[in-house]
A = this chain, B = another copy of it.
Amino acid sequence: MANFYKPEDLINRLNSIANSLASKPDSLALIGLGSAGLEINRLDQYSDLDFFVIVRKDKKQNYLSNLSWLEADQSLVFKFMNTVDGFKALYADGIFLEFAVFEEWELKKIPYSSGRVVWAHPDFDLEFANPQIKLPEQKQPPIEWSVNEALAICYIGINRYLRGEKLSAFRFVQIYAVDRVMELAKYLEKDTLDSFDPFSNERRFEKRFPQTAKILPDLMTGYENTPDAVLAILNFLDENFDVNEPLKNLIKNLVFSSKKDS
């Protein structure tokens, strides 16, 4: 099955929320984000609805304290205020929401990606569909930095593993060293989508870098198997870049000793 709804059900629900907002005097706009926004071509049966509701000054708390404006069509079976600005919520039919409510002036001080105006009152300044402050820039460190940092992380990670700190080892190797592999992928193949997400570089990685993505299962081997992930990262580095031999050999020895111990 997967989810019970189809992409058009998601769009209909968003429009229905827009209609409900339009009938309330204090609403100014509904701005769709992500696949509910400008990237609507990516909307699929695994998407949720991510949006901002913009309301008049001093009205935000009304919208947050009573969610009836969301329940014109369907009732919510799960609602969870996950930030001071918004909720995650689930409709009875399985449609999942992530939304925040802002007053117009608040948009001047928060970073967000450009959205799609699903509905707006004539009083709403359409400029606010775009962020008013700069997003974090995509930083691309030099090759040598990513390679050496990956090596150093593997060294620290395998030592923590040997000490029995397997959670810390997992995170060093299978997250932070993998971050470095993701940085290095750009030197080995062209980003097929050129769709970098400033809030999470890992989004759509498999589509953007299909060659490098092939080794991902070997780099994320789970809590007990960090030494195998270390070896796979060393192999990736060694096959594609200049790698410091003494440190590489030291790490390999530590990996082998971890296997003898177990």
Which A residues contact B (CB, under 8 angstroms)? 1-3, 44, 46-48, 77-78, 80, 82, 88, 90, 92, 94, 96, 144-145, 148-149, 151-152, 155-156, 159-160, 162-168, 170-171, 174-175, 200, 202-207, 213, 216-217, 219-225, 244, 246-247, 250, 253-254, 257
Q: Which residues of B contact A90 (CB under 8 A)?
A: 155, 244, 246-247, 250
Q: Which of B82, B200, B222 lies in contact with A225, CB distance below 8 A?
A: B222
Q: Which residues of B contact A148 (CB under 8 A)?
A: 78, 80, 82, 88
* B162 and A2 within 8 A (CB): yes
Q: Which 4 A-B pairs have the closest CB atoms?
A: A222-B222, A220-B223, A80-B148, A77-B246
Q: Which residues of B contact A152 (CB under 8 A)?
A: 80, 82, 88
Q: Closest CB-CB distance, A151 to chain B, in whole Å?
A: 8
* A46 and B160 within 8 A (CB): yes
Q: Complex: how many Å from CA A155 to CA B98?
A: 12
Q: How many copies does the complex hold?
A: 2
Q: A152-B88, A220-B223, A223-B217 known; A165 and B250 CB under 8 Å?
A: no
Q: Which residues of B contact A225 (CB under 8 A)?
A: 222
Q: Closest CB-CB distance, A6 to chain B, in whole Å?
A: 14
Q: Which of B1, B92, B149, B204 lies in contact with A80, CB distance below 8 A?
A: B149
Q: Closest CB-CB distance, A135 to chain B, in whole Å?
A: 19
Q: Which residues of B contact A88 (CB under 8 A)?
A: 148-149, 152
A selection of 23 A-B contacts at a CB cut-off of 8 Å is A2-B254, A3-B254, A77-B247, A80-B151, A82-B149, A88-B148, A88-B149, A90-B246, A90-B247, A96-B156, A164-B207, A165-B204, A165-B205, A166-B216, A167-B213, A168-B204, A168-B205, A170-B220, A174-B220, A217-B222, A217-B223, A217-B224, A222-B222
